[in-house]
A and B are shown apart, each in its own frame.
Chain A
C-alpha cells in the first residue's frame, strides 16, 4: 500500500463540470502539496496546505488532518485544466524537505 494514494487514477469530464480529486495518506505529514503537470513534463506547485482550505481562482484545496485526507476541486472545468494532478506530503519522518508522492490523476476535460 502506498503511503500517499490518489483517486481516481483517470478522470474524464465535460467542460464546465465540477471536478474532485482525492488524496489519502498514511504517514505523518507537516504539509500537503498539490502539483500540476502538463504534457511536456513541467510541474507546477498549485497549493501547499497544512490545515483548512485554500483557494486560487477556480481551484480549491482542502485538508482534514484527523482523517488524513485532502481534496482538490476544480470549478467550471475547462479543457486547459487537462493535466496530471499529483498529491504529495512533506513527511514528518524523513529528513530535509522530502516529498512522498501519490501516483497522480490524469484529468481530461473535453470541450
Chain B
C-alpha cells in the first residue's frame, strides 16, 4: 500500500514565523502535490512537483514556496505565516504524469495566530 505521511497533524504558529510542512511518500512516485482545503472553497492546488528539483505553480502559490531535494520528500514552506494561511494542508502523490490515482496524506491543520 502507498503511504503518504505528513510531519504534523496539528500545528499552531504565530504571524510572521517561517513554517515548514513536510510530506513523505514511500512508493517511488514521481508526482507530488500540496493542496489547501477551506470550507466552501474545496481543495485548491498550491504547488506540485513532477520530479526531483522540479516544481510548478498551482492555482494559489502566493505566499508559499516548495522544495523537493529527494524523490520521496516534498516540503511546503510558508516564508512569513499570515492568519489567512490558517487552513488544512494536504499532500498527495501519484505514480507519474497522466491519469493516475492520487494518494493523500492525513493532512496538517495549521492555525496561524
Show the binding face of A for B, using Cβ within 8 Å. 30-31, 33, 35, 40-45, 48, 50, 86, 88, 90, 95-99, 101-104
Q: Is the CB of A98 within 8 A of B48?
A: yes
Give 9 CB contacts A-B under 8 Å: A35-B104, A41-B37, A41-B88, A41-B107, A43-B104, A96-B97, A97-B99, A98-B48, A99-B102
Contact of A43 among B44, B90, B109 (CB under 8 A): B90
* A95/B56 contact (C-beta < 8 A), A30-B98, A48-B99, A104-B42 known: yes
Which B residues are in CB contact (< 8 Å) with A45? Answer: 101-104
* A35 cross-chain contacts in B, Cβ below 8 A: 104
Chain B residues, Cβ within 8 Å of A48:
99-101
Name which residue of chain A comes closest to B88, CB basis: A41
The distance in angstroms between the C-alpha atoms of A102 and B42, with both chains bound, is 7
Secondary structure dominating the interface of A: strand
- C-alpha spacing A90/B37, complex, angstroms: 18
Tell me the dominant secondary structure on chain B's binding face: strand
Q: A41-B106, A45-B102 are in contact. Are A98 and B90 (CB under 8 A)?
A: no
Count chain B residues whose beta carbon lies closer than 8 angstroms to a beta carbon of A. Answer: 29
Q: A96-B48, A96-B56 are in contact. Are A103 and B99 (CB under 8 A)?
A: no
**Nearest 3 A/B pairs, CB to CB:** A41-B107, A31-B99, A43-B104
A35 vs B106: C-alpha distance in the bound complex, in angstroms? 14
Q: When the two chains form their complex, are residues A50 and B109 in contact, meaning their CB atoms are under 8 A apart?
A: no
Which residues of chain B come closer than 8 Å to A98, judged between CB atoms?
A: 45, 48, 58
Nearest Cβ distance between residue B48 and chain A, in whole angstroms?
6
Q: How far is the CA of A33 from the CA of B33 in the complex (A)?
A: 16
- Residue of B40, B56, B97, B106 near A42 (CB, 8 A) is B106
What chain B residues lie within 8 Å of A101 (beta carbons)? 42-44
Instruction: Given A43-B107, A95-B56, output 5 extra A-B contacts at Cβ < 8 Å.
Output: A33-B102, A40-B106, A41-B107, A50-B99, A97-B31
